[in-house]
Amino acid sequence: MEKQVVDGLREVFQSGRSRPLQYRKQQLGALHRLITEHQEDIEQALKQDLNRNTYNTSLFELISIENDIKLAESEMADWAAPRPVKKNLNSALDNVYIKPEPLGVVLIIGTWNYPWAMILQPLVGAIAAGNAAVLKPSELSEHSARLMKELLPLYLDKEMYQVVTGGVPETQELLRQRFDHIFYTGSSMVGKLVMEAAARHLTPVTLELGGKSPCYVDKNCDIAVACRRITWGKFANCGQTCIAPDYILCEPSIQDRIVEEIQKTLLEFYQTDPKSSPDYCRIINTRHFDRVLALMNECTIALGGESDRSQCYIAPTVLKDVLPHFKIMQEEIFGPLLPIVTVNGLSEAIQFINAREKPLALYVFSSDKTVIKRMLAETSSGGVTVNDVLMHYTVDTLPFGGVGNSGMGRYHGKHTFDQLSHHRACLIKSFAMEGLNDARYPPLTAARLRKAKFFMQHRLCSCSGICVWAVIATLLAIGLKDNVP
Amino acid sequence: MESQKQVLERLRGAFRSGVTLPVHFRLTQLEAMMSLFEDNETQIIEAMHEDLAKPKFEAVLSEIEIVVNDICYAISNLQSWMQPTYVATNLATKLDDCFVRREPLGVVLIIGAWNYPLHLILLPLIGAIAAGNCAILKPSEISRATEKLLAELIPKYLSQECYAVIRGGAEETKTLLENRFDHIFYTGSQSVARCILLAAAVHLTPVTLELGGKCPCLIYGRLDMKAAAKRLVWAKFFNAGQSCVAPDYVLCTAETRDALLPFIKETLESFYGSDPQQSPDLGRIVTDRHWDRLLELLKKSEGKIVIGGESDKKTKYIAPTVVVDVMESDALMQEEIFGPILPILTIKSLDEAIYFVNEREKPLALYAFSDESQVVNTVLERTCSGGFCSNDGIVHMSLPGLPFGGVGASGMGNYHGRWGFETFSHKRGCMMRSWLLERVNVLRYPPYNESNLSWLRWATTAKKKGWAGCSVM
C-alpha cells in the first residue's frame, strides 16, 4: 500500500503539476482555509490528545503555521527565482545562477507533542518548493492524526499530498520506499533508524531531534523576570517541548531564590491547584507518565511532585540540588520536572554543558554581556535564546534545527523552502567567444597555460567600474579571434 | 606510529582547546596551504604524472590552479563569512537582536578520490579550515604517489595538532568510519556512499556525498558544430574521461551526429595529433583493473566504433573513442563509463531525449548544446541534475560562486567557495531578548484569555512586503 502511494505521487510529480507557482499558492491557500475553517475541530482533537487548551493551541501551533503560509505565499516568487552569483573572467559574459528546484516526493514524519505544527510547517515549505509529500502523523496523538487524515484530502490535491496513518509497522514500511527527502521530528534514537533507512536509497534527511537543553541563570540578572520566562517555557504543554529548558544550572547562592520566584510564578499562572487549571496540560500517555515520574526518584522535591496516573497528571515540579549522575540528568525529561544543578560559576557551567551532547537549544540569563559572549563563544547548540526561552523558534528568519545529536538540517520560513529544494548550479553559455576557450585546449604551450590561468582567477573581479569595462573590452578583442598563438 | 583513535583524540583535544576559532589561525593555515602549492608545483605535477600520466597542463589547471583560486577566494572573504548575519524580526521581537552565527562543527573526515587526487581532498579542506574545524584526510590509496605526497606535505605545512592524513585501503577506511566525526565529506561511488551513510547514521553524523552517475549531453537544434565539437571533446577526454562531470554519453539526432563526427575527428587531431598515444597531452587510465573494465565494456558493446578503439594495456592507454548506434540496453549504458569512450545515442526529438534522461537517475551534471535558447531552456526546465551547463562541459565547476554537488543518486550537499565554508559550519540561530517590556510578555502567560491572543497574533504576524512596520510597543 505504502509503495503504491509513493509511486502514485511520484508519477503525478513528474507530470510537472507542481511546477507553476500558481498551483503551489493555491495549495497553500487551501491549507490555510483548512486551519481557519476547522480551528475548533483541531482544538478539540488537541484537547483530547494532550488536554491542550485553545489558547495554547493557537499560540504554539496555529499561529506559526499561518505565519509560515502567509510568508510563503507572498515571498514564493522571490524564493523560487534564479539567484545570480559572482563570476570570474572566463564567465564574465555568461549567465551564472543557482536555480532552486523541487526534489520530488518528500516524507514528513511528525511527532505527538505539537502534532499540527511539526507536520504542517515542513509541509508549507515542501509545497512552496514544488514537491509532493507523504505525511505520517504520530499515532500517539491519535485524534489529531485521524483528523488530519480526514481533512487534508478535502482541501489539498490528494494526488500530490497524502496522509498515511498507523504505528511502527506502517512507518517502517514507508521507510523502505524511496523518497527524495525525509523530514523527521522526534527522538535521536529513532532519528538514527530513519537515517539508516534513508542510506539505502541515498536519501538526504532533515532530523529535528532533541536532547537536554540547558538553562544557565547567572547571579547577575533580574531573577524574578528570568524565572517567569523560564516557568512559562518549561511548563507550557506540560514540559513536552523539544526546546523546553530541560534543567537549570546556577550558583548555589541563588538556588533558593530561583525556587521562590518559580513558586510565585506558578501560583500566578496556574493558581493553587494546577490540576484544575484549564491552562495546564497532561502527559500524552501512561507510558510517558511512568517514565517521567520515575525520573523523580532520587531527587529532592522543592516544589510540586504530586501526580495522578488516571489523568496522566504531574504537577509542575522543581527539584533542587540535583547531581549529574542522577537518572534525571541522563535523558531528555520531556515533562514538567525542572531539576536545578548547582555549579560554581560560568566556567564550570560551560564545562558541564560541553561534556554532554550538543543540545537543540541553549538558554542563558544574564545582565552581564561578557557572560553571554562567553556562553555563545564556548558552547554549541542548535539555537540560542538569551534572557528568555523558546522565543528563537518564533522568528522565522532564524534557521531552526539541531547539531550533533540534536539533529541536522534546518527549517522555518525560507529555510524550509531551501531545505526541501535542490540548488542547481547553472552556467548558460553561448557558442560565441570561442577564442577565449582556445587557451584551455591542447596541445599545451606556455602561452596557453598562462592565459588559461589568468582567466580562471577571481581576484580581478572586485575591480572598479572603469577597470571592468577595460577587462570586458579586452575579452571581446581576444574572444572574437579564432586562433590564439 | 599513532593509531587512528589516537589521532582522532588528539585532534578533538585541539578542537576543544579553541585553537582553530580565531580568524588569524584559519588565515595562517590557508596561507600555508598556498605555500604548499607554490613550493611544490614540480613534485605535484610529477605525482599526478605517476598516478594518472596526467599531462602537466591538466595537472596545473585542474589540481593546482583551481585549488589555489579557492584558497585566495577564502582568504579574501573569510572575515565577512565569519560575521554573524542579522535577520529581520517581527513586531513582538523588534527590540531583540536576532542573528545567525556560523560555528565550526568539530573534527571532520574528508575522503578523497583518485581521479583528481589533490583537488578532491584539498578543496573540501579549504572549507573545513575556513569554518574552523580540525580535519582528518583520507586520500585514495589508488593514486599512490599523491597519497604519499599528501602524507609528507600536509604535516609539513599545516598545524599537526589540527590536521592529519591517514593512509590505507578499504579495511582502514572501514575502521576509521567506526569513529565519531562531526561531518563526513566523501567523494566517490554510490555503493561506497551507502556504507558511509550507514556508518554516519550510528553517530547521527551529517554527510556530504559527491558521487557520480552518467552525465548526459543533449545536442539539438541549430549549432555551431565546430565550437560544439571542440568543447565536447575537451570536456570528455580531459583526464582521459575520468571526471565525475565528464559528458558520459551524447543524445542527438542522426543528422546532428553525422554533421558532428567530422568536427570531432578534426578536433581530436588538433588536440592530440594523428597518433594520440604519442601526445603528451592525453592522460592514461589509473590502474590495470580500471583499464580492463573499460575494455570489457567496449568489447561487450553492440555499437559501432567510428573513431579510435585502439588500446595498449602496458601503458594503460585507450585512444579517444567514439561509438555510434548505441542502444539503451548496451553495455556502455549500464554504468558510469569514467573513461575515454563516448557513446552517441540517436533520438528523433527533444522530447524523446528529455524522456530518456528523466527515466534515469539524476546525474551530477547535465549538458545541453544548442544555439537555440528555447532548446536550452526546455532541457533546463524539464530535467534535474546536480549542475547544468549549456554549450560547454565541466567549466561550471570552476566558478566559486556556484555550489558544486549532486542530487538524488549523484549526491547530497555541496561545496566550492563560500558553499564549502557553509557545509562545514553549523548555522546557529540566536536571539538576544531584552529584559525590558516584560509587560508585553504578559500577553503570552497563563491564565489565558482571548484578547491577549488577538494582540499576540497581530504582533507576531509575518511582515508584509513593502510595509514599514512601526514599533508600537
What pLDDT digit, counting tens, does each position of B296-320 carry? 999 999 999 999 999 999 999 999 9
What are the beta bridge partners of residue B312?
A: B317
- What is residue A473's predicted lDDT score, i.e. its pLDDT? 55
A151: number of Cβ within 10 Å: 18
pLDDT tens column, B55-79: 998 999 999 999 999 999 999 999 9
Place of cell 536532547: A211
Q: Does B466 touch chain A (CB under 8 A)?
A: no
Q: Which of A378, A392, A436 to mutate to test the interface with B (most CBs of B within 10 A)?
A: A392
B194: three-class secondary structure by DSSP: helix
B84 min Cα distance to partner chain A (Å): 12
Query: CB-CB: which of B87, B89, B198 is closest to A199?
Result: B198
- Closest alpha carbon to B247 in B329, B345, B319: B345
Give the whole-angstrom CA distance, residue B425 versus residue B412: 16
- Tell me if chain A has a CB within 8 Å of the CB of B436: no
With an 8 Å Cβ cutoff, is A190 touching chain B?
Answer: no
Q: A456 and chain B: CB distance < 8 Å anywhere?
A: yes
> DSSP assignment of B110-169, as one string?
EE--SSSTTHHHHHHHHHHHHTT-EEEEE--SSSHHHHHHHHHHHHHHS-TTTEEE----
Q: Say how far apart CA B388 and CA A423 lie, in whole Å.
A: 11
What's the mean pLDDT when you consider all of chain B?
93
Q: Is A443 on the interface with B (CB under 8 A)?
A: yes
All residues of chain B having their beta carbon less than 8 Å from the beta carbon of residue A71 are: 462
CB–CB contact B87 A395 (8 Å): yes
Does the pTM exceed 0.90? yes
Cβ pair B382:A16 closer than 8 A: yes
Is residue B28 over pLDDT 90? yes
**Please, is A396 exposed, middle or buried when counting C-beta atoms within 10 Å of its C-beta (0-12, 13-18, 19+)?**
buried
Contact B144, B115 (CB under 8 A): no
Question: Within the 215-244 window of chain B, which residues sit less than 8 Å (CB to CB) from chain A?
Answer: 223-224, 226-228, 230-231, 234
User: Which residue blocks in A129-213 are alpha helix, DSSP H?
Assistant: 142-155, 168-176, 188-200
Alpha carbon distance B268, A334 (integer Å): 67
**Confidence label for B455 from pLDDT (cuts 50, 70 and 90):** confident
Supply the pLDDT for residue B471: 28
Nearest Cα of chain B lies from the Cα of A145 at a distance, in angstroms, of 25
> From the CA of A386, how many Å to the nearest CA of chain B?
5
Band (B391; pLDDT cuts 50, 70, 90)? very high
A15 at B interface, C-beta within 8 A: no
Angle subtended at Cα A123 by Cα A122 and Cα A127, rounded to the nearest 5 degrees: 125
Could you say which DSSP state residue B210 is in? E
Q: Does B281 touch chain A (CB under 8 A)?
A: yes
Backbone angle region of B241, left / alpha / beta, with phi > 0 → left and psi within -120 to 50 → alpha: left
Specify the DSSP element, H or E, that contains A342.
Answer: strand A337-342
Question: What is the pLDDT at residue B339?
Answer: 97
Give the long-range contacts of residues B370-377, CB within 8 A, separation 24 or more.
B370/B218, B370/B219, B370/B220, B370/B221, B370/B222, B370/B223, B371/A430, B371/A431, B371/B221, B371/B222, B371/B223, B371/B224, B372/B220, B372/B221, B372/B222, B374/B221, B375/B220, B375/B221, B375/B350, B376/A428
Predicted pLDDT of residue A143? 96
Per the model's pLDDT, the better-predicted residue between B446 and B393 turns out to be: B393
A165: left (phi over 0), alpha (psi -120 to 50) or beta: beta
Which chain B residues have a beta carbon less than 8 Å from that of A13?
Answer: none
Quote the pLDDT of residue B443. 78
Residue in B103, B371, B408 nearest the CB of A431: B371
Across the interface, whether the CB atoms of B380 and A426 are under 8 A apart is answered yes
Cα separation, B244 vs B115, in Å, equals 9
Q: What's A359's DSSP letter?
A: P
d(CA A252, CA A345): 9
pLDDT of A474: 57
* Complex confidence, ipTM: 0.93
Q: What is the DSSP letter of B415?
A: B
| Residue B168 scores a pLDDT above 50 | yes
SS3 B402: coil
Determine the Cα–Cα distance for residues A196 and A175; give it in Å rounded to an integer: 10
**B473 confidence band (pLDDT: 50, 70, 90):** very low
Distance from CA of B138 to the nearest CA of A (A): 21
Contact with chain B for residue A366, Cβ under 8 A: no
Q: Do B441 and A228 touch (CB under 8 A)?
A: yes
- Mean local confidence (pLDDT), B406-422: 97
Which residues from B are below 8 Å from A410, CB to CB?
A: 427, 429
Evaluate the omega torsion of the peptide bond into residue A442 and state whether it is cis, within 30 degrees of 0: no
Q: Is the pLDDT of residue B83 over 80?
A: yes
b (16+ CB within 10 A) / e for B412-431: bbbbbbbbbbbbbbbbbbbb
CA distance A389 to B293: 60
Which of the 8 DSSP states describes residue B397? Answer: G
- Cβ-in-10-Å burial (0-12, 13-18, 19+) of A355 comes to exposed
Question: Measured on CA atoms in the order A215, A218, A219, A223, is the torsion positive or negative?
Answer: negative
Residues in chain A where the model's pLDDT stays below 70: 59, 457-485
Helix (H, G, I), strand (E, B) or coil at B224: coil
CB atoms closer than 10 angstroms to residue B3? 10
Query: What are the cell numbers at A170?
Result: 506502517
Phi and psi at B412, nearest 5°, equal -150, 145
Nearest to B432 among A268, A386, A405 (CB): A386
- C-alpha cell read off for A45: 482533537
Contact residues, chain A, for B194 at CB < 8 Å: 199-200, 202
Average pLDDT (B378-394) is 96
Chain B residues whose beta carbon lies within 8 Å of the beta carbon of residue A422:
384, 407
Give phi and psi for B297, each to the nearest 5.
Answer: -60, -45
Q: Which three cell numbers stand for residue A65?
A: 503555521
Q: Is it the case that residue B468 has pLDDT exceeding 50? A: no
pLDDT of B91 higher than 80: no
CB contact (8 A) between residue B387 and residue A75: no
**What percent of chain B is modeled with pLDDT above 90?**
87
Q: Which residue of A has its CA nearest to B393?
A: A427
The alpha-carbon gap from A301 to the nearest alpha carbon of chain B, in Å, equals 24
Q: What is residue B454's three-state secondary structure?
A: helix
For residue A205, what are the β-bridge partners?
A: A182
Alpha-helical (H) ranges within A17-167 are: 21-37, 39-50, 54-57, 63-80, 117-128, 142-155
Please list the residues that pair with B345 across neighbouring strands: B251
Instruction: Give the residue carrying C-alpha cell 604524472.
Output: B49
Q: Which three cell numbers stand for residue B423?
A: 557545509
Instruction: Identify all chain B residues contacting A207, using CB atoms and an 8 Å cutoff.
Output: 204
Does B463 score more than 70 pLDDT? no
DSSP class per residue in A81-116: S-EE----GGGTTSEEEEEEEE-SEEEEE--SSSTT
Task: Point out the residues of A that are catalytic.
Answer: 208, 242
Rounded to the nearest angstrom, the minimum Cα separation between A220 and chain B is 13
Cβ–Cβ under 8 Å, residues A335 and A239: yes
Confidence (pLDDT) at B90: 73
Contact A228, A261 (CB under 8 A): yes
pLDDT tens per residue, range B345-357: 999 999 999 999 9
Asked if A297 is an interface residue toward chain B (Cβ–Cβ < 8 A), one would say no
Residue A103 contacts B where some CB pair is shorter than 8 Å: yes
Best A78, A227, A424 residue to mutate vs chain B (most B CBs within 10 Å): A424
Hey, is A130 helix, strand or coil?
coil
| Catalytic hit among B58, B63, B147, B210 | B210
Distance (Å, whole) CA A324 – CA A321: 10
Spatial neighbors of A418 by CB under 8 A, at least 6 apart, are: A79, A100
CA angle B251–B253–B255, rounded 5-degree value: 135
What pLDDT is recorded for position A463?
Answer: 37
Q: CA B200, CA B208: separation in Å to the nearest integer? A: 11
Q: Which residue has the cell 547571579?
A: A219
Answer whether residue B361 shows pLDDT above 60: yes
